[in-house]
Structure 1
Amino acid sequence: MAVDDKNATTTRLLTLLNVSATKSLKRKLASEEPQRAEKLNKRRSLQFLPVDEDEPAKSASQPDAEQDGEGPENQENDQEAEDGADDEVQDSTDSYEAHFGAHSAVLTPSAREAVDRRAWTTFREKCGRLGTLMQVLPEGSSSTEWRKDRQKIPDKLREPFDGRQAKLPRELAEMQNDLLAMLSSQRDVYITRTTLDTHASMREAITLHALNHVTKKRRRVLKNNERLAHAAKSGASAPEDVQDQGFTRPSVLILLPFRSFALKWLNALTSHTPSPTYQIENRSRFEGEYGLPPNAIDKLATAEPGAYPRDHVEMFKGNVDDSFRVGIKMTRKSVKLFADFYGCDIIIASPLGLRLSIEKEKSADFLSSIEVLIVDQMDALTMQNWDHIQFVFSRLNQLPKESHDVDFSRIKPWYLDGHAAYLRQSILLSAYETPEMRALFNGSLKNVAGKFRTERRWTPVEVPEGIQQEFVQFDCVSPKDEAEKRFQYFTTQLLPSVLKSAVQSVNTVVFVPSSFDFIRVQNHFRKNTGVSFTVLSEYSSNQDISRARQAFFSGKKSFLLISERFHFFRRYKIRGIRNLIFYGPPDHPQFYTELLSYPFLDDNVEASDVTCRVLYSKYDWMRLERIAGSEGASALIRRDS
């Protein structure tokens, strides 16, 4: 670590110590009887005494548990403290202990220095059902046989999972095992192409891994609680090797786009904790807040097969509110929903919901000790506001502003050193890859153990036979100039050539992937073209949509501008199309196929009546690959080079 960074870390920790000491002093002055102020790192035997497990959580009445709570992790008040933690020997061969133990085997100065320089070495290999795998390690590290890094999963968690896995098709069971092997290495995992058929199985494997992480951490804390309590009773000196936690209790964060997915992830999580062994508290409340309201009819779920594309149904059925956050506390015998953030183990939230909570409380301390981060449906999150994702990532594993009554003698050394981000395991899932996701993977994931990224070759999408597709490339030498170069080419060359044609200047749809580009193109049509047009954007009301579709179909409007976000959220079938202009290749490859099929919703339309132009640059590689296929995209990029 650089000297300045080390000094900054030391200053922050001293501030935390002063805050804790100030709080202790205030409590002393407020007391009727004078008493000696306790040292911050004094081990107190009273904190290990159990309380009634059935006592309601203080935050149970607070919606979405957005209020700050009390009780650091070492003040464990679960009934399991009375029973004692399961007897288990600390196993240095277990990948969890080797990675997240007090003295992590992978957190070396050379590895941290390589990560800070973004000096990575890449190895390509095959990984069974997950396909080609890119193994990315800090410079100086050698490619390792990561499949040997098995993480031991308790039988109580593994047996229910094995029973369900036995009923799966062989390819899904093998995929789960491959994924669990990757997760057991404690490296970052970026799945770049999830499918509708594999998503549920992946979710179940990942929740097993997350629950196992929480279980191992909790057992270590409780075991050390027992040791400290026994030492206090016997009058022996307290053991020193009890550094077993972070600044705050939450260690797993799951980011999702909609409440309906929070319900799916909770169901997957609790499938590993079957009753009657576990009690799930506040489940009816959770289902009420994260499911549909009573008597509500889900039009997507009840629609006839084929009425809507399958991916749209799976994405938008259920509760699609995008602002939520909830804490989940795991004990030996229960799963407590709506637990306070500072008293929970797992946080499930949307990026927007988490950001609103952080900005309201002016604190992100509950994210200071996240050890496992899961981001699902990243493709959907790009259709919301990517800035919320970046906001959350920038506040992960930062030194907290307050001490939250933590016992600093129980904190792992690498937390105190400000190195938590180098050990956090991030798990990213998406149906496809975008430059924003790749930048997040390359720049924000600092796991010194390394990271995995899957690779899959794409085949061309299927389009109606006979349509002539024209891919138009414009020159651009820098990604910073890409938006401006695209706009210039569109307004000075492509659009004027279209307007010169009597056939192509009517019944024409302009599809714009980026919301920023959409506004710019709309303003250009309004000020410079002099042609009649209408728009469909994510901000269009139902009345606006009805008017725009009717005006375009009837020919009153010659052009229809459509944003990709509108098509993502609404998925309307548009009639009256004869000409298609893609301002850029769409992120979702199925949108390209759907739009090319819409002209044939009208009667007596031949393929020769339909034209299609796609404007692209070399920086559109990822989107172009999903449409033209990996080989086709390579040929298009090289065509004019």
Structure 2
Amino acid sequence: MAIDESSSVTTRLLTLLNVSATKASKRKRTFEESKPVEKLNKKRVVQIAAPEDSTGSASESTSSEEKEKGVSRPQTDADVEMDAGEDEEVSGTDPYEAHFGLSPSMLTEGAREAVDQRSWTQRRDKCGRLGGVVESLPEGIVGSNAMSTKHKIPEKMREPLQARQAKLPREVVELQNDLLNTLSSYRDLYVTRTSPETQSSFREALTLHALNHITKKRRRILKNNERISHATKAGNEPPEDVQDQGFTRPSVLILLPFRSFALRWVSALTAHTPSSHYQVENNGRFQSEYGLPPGAVDKLANADPGTYPRDHVEMFKGNVDDSFRLGVKITKKSVKLFAEFYGCDLIIASPLGLRMSIEKEKNADFLSSIEVLIVDQMDALTMQNWEHVQFVFNNINQMPKESHDVDFSRIKSWYLDGHAAYLRQTVLLSAYETPETRSLFNQSLKNVAGRIRTEKRWAPIEVPEGIDQNFVQFDCSNPKDEPEKRFQYFTAQLLSAVMKSAVQSANTVVFVPSSLDFIRVQNHFRKINASFTVLSEYSSNQDISRARQAFFSGTKAFLLISERFHFFRRYKLRGIRNLVFYGPPDHPQFYTEFLSYPFLDDGMDASDVTCRVLYSKYDWMRLERIAGTEGATELVKKSI
């Protein structure tokens, strides 16, 4: 039933909720019961399922009319296959049941108020291979030790994992196990320092956690189907405690920057399914749309080692399209890709692709019941349009605009109360922190179970010996004034001094981290009629070639470079003698690379290179990655 008028959404939703209070015997079934019905205490084989897409068999397919309405075909016990004989995995002692059950004990009014007011009690702890962490709980709430929780994994998934781990180094196995144990607490997790070496380990553990979550959710639904069927056949009133669903089916969302990462995540996901009788449906289409076009050569993947930095190769090899969305569901004998959103268990998408879908459909109902959200490569997402990430977060766990043929009597009460965001588990992965990612963690995560943020000390980054690095501080007491204060100091003092020097007013690169600052600096150079050229993320190949040649030949004295340009292109630049950083770069390796570029020219001596870095105390995160934790502390102390 659609709710068309925006002004009557609340009224109609309340009407639907009142309807759900009718007798259980008159409930509309979301999932059909199997025949014959087995005993509740008997071990049987069931499987995670979702309605079939248009490419499936006739018995499992969803009609085109139902698809247009966002309606899912009922699911039977025969559609689901997993080991359901482990009583502890469906009992209240299981972390899933404790966190997402009928009445989560941590979902109190006091906890919600503390989260809304951002009142957290923090303590520092160690979390195995994850290192030091900051653990936060809503103020006034006493929680169990998240690090002592053990992840319960179904046998069908545990055995393949252990077989793969037997071939891995001990430290990798320990990292995966520590991560799984931390995830099992269903607290939010923010990993602030990943690396190309650890990314695959994180992916494997996180896809196992996501699959485990989907499995337990479907198992609970089928158990309740059995209970209702038994009661009905016995002529008894159906049980009332069968609330086991959300507004819509998708419960896991994974946000990624490029299609190439979707390939890796799907590969990690399917690695947990028994290969003997599972297949990936629509895999040919998936490989075609998410891999490189036929005949295309990946110059990064095929380049000689050392030609490009490893982090750049890992980020940009493969298909780097940033607009995609993919529904995934696990059926009896296959992982089905390209499932429609209202009939899938898991969504893999880019922030841009998801936003386009939401704006096209004029609603984000398919995100209303997300229980596990994973955001990978956040450092890359900050180099794209961060507003897309914020848009997605603002549309998750909102009340749906349409009913989507849901049985409201089976919806958990905390969904109906609008409290889903207080239970959603969010996992954030980034190579380093930025103010944007920390702000997202602080302001958009509301999990009443608490949250965990990793923290590690940074050592000073290595740079060529002999270069005089001059860190120039400007005073600023208010972060809102920081962009203006930086620009005024740069134009009035730093750039003015550079322009007066015969040596520093030529062969000079000005590196600007922020795109908005880059436009402002570019306009200023144009205003003072300086001899300059630019390299930005919007530069065409022809523009890049001309700018590099003009700077190297000395035709242009200044070269303005945005950090996003270097992130996407990673060119080695010649002709540099002087470096001016409008602000420390987000990516610490960029600092090392630019200080090494002058030595691409023959006969260069370190004493011939100058380097100035403009900073304020609000650049702490960037400074720490360059000067090290102790060095950044000393630099920031100057402003206190």
TM-score of the superposed pair, with normalisation by structure 2: 0.91
Q: Residues of 1 paired with 2:111 and 2:485: CA distance?
A: 40
Alignment of 1:163-178 (within 5 A): 163-178=163-178
Could you tell me whether the CA contact under 8 Å between 2:52 and 2:339 is conserved in 1? no
- The reply to whether residue 42 of structure 1 matches residue 26 of structure 2 is yes
CA deviation vs aligned residue, 1:586-633 (integer Å, no higher than 9, x gap):
000000000000000001110011000000000000001000000000
Higher mean C-alpha displacement, 168-177 vs 313-322: 168-177
Q: Secondary structure at the match of 2:469?
A: strand
Instruction: Tell me what 1:610 maps to.
Output: 609
Q: 2:53 aligns with which of 57, 63, 73?
A: 57
Q: After TM superposition, give the deviation of residue 150 of structure 1 in Å.
A: 2.8
Q: Distance in 2 between matches of 1:45 and 1:497?
A: 75
Q: 1:104 and 1:176, CA in 2 relative to 1: closer, same or farther beyond 3 A?
A: same
Contact 2:533 2:547 in 1 (8 A): yes
- Aligned pair in 2 of structure 1 residues 330, 42: CA closer, same or farther (>3 Å)? farther
For residues 71 and 219 of structure 1, what CA distance do their matches in structure 2 show? Answer: 21
Cα distance, 1:39 vs. partner? 9.6
Instruction: Tell me, yes or no, if structure 1 residue 16 matches structure 2 residue 19.
Output: no
The AA in structure 2 aligned to 1:15 is R
* 2:160–2:272 contact (8 Å) kept in structure 1: yes
Q: Which amino acid aligns with 1:462?
A: E
Cα-to-partner distance string for 1:3-59 (whole Å, 9 max, x where unaligned) = xxxxxx99855423658999xxxxxxxxxxxxxxx99993246950579x9996237
Partner residue, 1:555: 554
| Aligned match of 1:429 | 429
Change (3 A) 1:273 1:631: same
Q: Does 1:624 align with 2:623?
A: yes
1:285 to partner: Cα distance: 1.2
Tell me which residue corresponds to 1:121: 121
Q: What residue identity is the alignment partner of 1:546?
A: S
- Residue 350 of structure 1 deviates from its aligned partner by 0.2
The residue correspondences of 1:157-306 to structure 2 (distance < 5 A) are 157-306=157-306
1:469 aligns with 2:459: no
CA 84–350 in structure 1, closer or farther in 2 if over 3 Å, else same? closer
8 Å contact kept, 1:111–1:448: yes
What is the distance in 2 between the residues matched to 1:44 and 1:532?
73
Aligned to 1:477, the other structure's residue is in SS state coil
Change (3 A) 1:618 1:84: closer
- TM-fit CA distance, 1:562: 0.2
The question of whether the paired residues in 2 share the 8 Å contact of 1:535 and 1:548 is answered with yes
**What is the letter of the counterpart of residue 597 of structure 2?**
Y
- Asked if residue 539 in structure 1 is aligned to residue 535 in structure 2, the reply is no
What secondary structure is seen at the aligned counterpart in 2 of 1:552?
helix
Q: Do residues 594 (structure 1) and 578 (structure 2) align?
A: no
Task: Report the TM-score, using the length of structure 1 for normalisation.
Answer: 0.91
State the partner residue of 2:410. 410
| Secondary structure at the counterpart of residue 300 of structure 2 | helix
Aligned counterparts of 2:379 and 2:512: Cα–Cα separation in 1: 17
Distance 2:109 2:311 in 1: 45
Q: Which residue matches 1:335?
A: 335
CA drift of 1:105 comes to 1.7
Q: 1:32 aligns to what?
A: none
Instruction: State the 1:225 CA deviation.
Output: 1.7
| Cα distance in 1, alignment partners of residues 393 and 344 from structure 2 | 20
Gaps of 5+ in 2: 1-5, 36-48
The SS at the match of 1:287 is helix
Higher deviation after alignment, 231-240 or 547-556: 231-240
Distance of aligned partners of 1:41 and 1:261 in 2 relative to their CA distance in 1, 3 Å threshold: farther
What residue is the counterpart of 2:508 in the other structure? 508
* Alpha-carbon distance between aligned partners in 1 of 2:108 and 2:278, rounded to the nearest angstrom: 40
Alignment partners' CA distance in 1, 2:16 and 2:131: 51
Inter-partner Cα distance in structure 2 for 1:45 and 1:110: 35
Q: Which moved more, 1:296-305 or 1:162-171?
A: 162-171
8 Å contact kept, 1:187–1:450: yes
Q: Give the structure 1 partner of residue 393 of structure 2.
A: 393
The 8 Å contact of residues 24 and 239 in structure 2, kept in 1 or not, is answered as no
- Helix, strand or coil: the match of 1:190? strand
**Is contact 1:85-1:223 (8 Å) kept?**
no
What is the aligned length? 610
CA distance in 2, matches of 1:386, 1:262: 19
Query: Is the 1:243–1:413 Cα contact (8 Å) retained in structure 2?
Result: yes
For 1:68 and 1:590, how far apart are their aligned partners in 2?
49
Deviation, 1:166, is 1.6
SS in 1 for 2:337: strand
Find the aligned partners of 1:570 and 1:356 in 2 and give their Cα distance: 26
Q: Which secondary structure does the structure 2 equivalent of 1:469 belong to?
A: strand
Determine the structure 2 residue equivalent to 1:5: none
* Letter in structure 2 aligned against 1:482: E
* CA 1:407–1:44: 2 relative to 1, 3 Å: closer
Instruction: Name 2:45's counterpart in structure 1.
Output: none
The aligned counterpart of 1:3 is none
Kindly indicate whether residue 370 of structure 2 is the aligned counterpart of residue 370 of structure 1: yes
Asked if the contact 1:59/1:339 (under 8 Å) is kept, the reply is no
Bigger Cα displacement from structure 2, 40-49 vs 296-305: 40-49
Identical amino acids, percent of aligned pairs: 70
Secondary structure of 1:250's partner? Answer: coil
Aligned-pair CA distance for 1:535: 0.1
Q: Which residue does the alignment assign to 2:566?
A: 567
Q: 1:557 to 1:50 in 2, by over 3 A?
A: farther
Alignment of 1:481-492 (within 5 A): 481-492=481-492
How far 1:130 moved relative to its partner? Answer: 1.1
Please tell me whether the aligned partners of residues 78 and 331 of structure 1 are also in contact (alpha carbons under 8 angstroms): no
Unpaired segments ≥5 residues, structure 1: 1-8, 23-37
Tell me the distance in 1 between the aligned counterparts of 2:50 and 2:97: 32
- Please tell me the residue identity of whatever aligns with 1:613: R
What letter corresponds to residue 172 of structure 2 in structure 1?
L
Residue 57 of structure 1 aligns to which amino acid in structure 2? Answer: D
**Distance in 2 of aligned mates of 1:106 and 1:637:** 39
CA distance change for structure 1 residues 127 and 616 in 2, over 3 Å: closer, same or farther? same
For 1:71, the equivalent position in structure 2 comes to 71
**Corresponding residue SS for 1:339:** coil
In 2, the alpha carbon distance for the partners of 1:300 and 1:405 equals 48
Residue of structure 2 equivalent to 1:494: 494
Q: Which residue of 1 aligns with 2:351?
A: 351
- Distance across 1 between alignment mates of 2:344 and 2:51: 15
Structure 2 residue aligned with 1:86? 84
Provide the rounded CA distance (Å) in 1 between the counterparts of 2:24 and 2:250: 21
Cα distance in 2 between the residues matched to 1:461 and 1:480: 29
The answer to whether the Cα contact below 8 Å between 1:13 and 1:416 also exists between their aligned partners in 2 is: no
Matches of 1:430 and 1:68, distance apart in 2: 37
Q: Does 1:479 align with 2:479?
A: yes
Q: Which whole-Å CA distance do the structure 2 matches of 1:352 and 1:107 have between them?
A: 32
Q: Distance in 1 between matches of 2:560 and 2:438?
A: 29
Q: Give the Cα–Cα distance (whole angstroms) in 2 for the partners of residues 85 and 600 of structure 1.
A: 62
**Amino acid paired to 2:109:** P
Q: Which string of whole-angstrom CA distances, capped at 9 and with x for unpartnered residues, describes residues 505-549 of structure 1?
A: 000000000000000000000012x22100000000000000000
SS at match of 2:599: helix
Q: Report the CA distance between 1:155 and its aligned residue.
A: 0.5
Superposed CA deviations along residues 228-274 of structure 1, whole A, max 9, x for unmatched, are 23333443321211100100000000000000000100101110003
Residue pair 2:83, 2:155 contacting (<8 A) in 1 also: no
Distance 1:17 1:88 in 2: 38
Once residues 279 and 623 of structure 1 are traced to their aligned partners in structure 2, the CA distance between those partners, rounded to angstroms, is: 45
Q: Is contact 1:507–1:576 with CA below 8 Å preserved after alignment?
A: yes
Q: Return the letter of the residue paired with 2:416.
A: L
Q: Distance in 1 between matches of 2:395 and 2:180?
A: 28
Q: What root-mean-square deviation, in Å, do the aligned CA atoms of Structure 1 and Structure 2 show?
A: 2.5
Tell me how far 1:336 sits from its aligned partner: 1.1
Q: CA deviation at 1:573?
A: 0.5
